[in-house]
Amino acid sequence: MNGKFGEFIAEKRKAKGMTLRGLAAEIGIVPAFMSDIEKGHRYPPKKETLDKIVQALNLNEEDTNKMFDLAAEEKDNTVSPDLPKYIMNNDKVRVALRLARDSDASDKTWQKVIELLEKENKAD
Task: Report how many domains make up the chain.
Answer: 2
In a domain, 84, yes or no: no
pLDDT in tens, the chain (124 residues): 789 999 999 999 999 999 999 999 999 999 999 999 999 999 999 999 999 999 999 999 999 999 999 999 998 778 999 999 999 999 999 999 999 999 999 999 999 999 999 999 888 7
Are 115 and 64 in a shared domain? Answer: no
Same-domain check for residues 12 and 69:
yes
Q: Residue 61 falls within a domain, yes or no?
A: yes
**What is the span of the domain harbouring residue 49?**
4-77
Same domain, 73 and 96: no
Please name the residues in contact with 6: beta carbons below 8 A apart, sequence gap of 6 or more: 37, 38, 39, 40
What CA–CA distance (Å, rounded) separates 65 from 71? 10
Q: What is the model's pTM?
A: 0.82
Residue 16 lies in a domain: yes
Cα distances (angstroms) measured from residue 85 to each of 14, 24, 90: 31, 26, 9
| CATH number, residue 51 | 1.10.260.40
For residue 124, the model assigns a pLDDT of 73
Residue type, 101: R
Query: Are 59 and 114 within one domain?
Result: no
CB of 47 within 8 A of CB of 53? no
- Residues 23 and 70 placed together within one structural domain of the fold: yes
- Do 41 and 16 share a domain, yes or no? yes
Q: Could you tell me if residue 83 is inside a domain? A: no
Closest listed residue to residue 5, CA positions, set 83, 53, 72: 72
- How many C-beta atoms surround the C-beta of residue 45 within 10 A? 20
Residues 36 and 72 in one domain: yes
Q: Within this chain, do residues 11 and 66 fall inside the same structural domain, yes or no?
A: yes
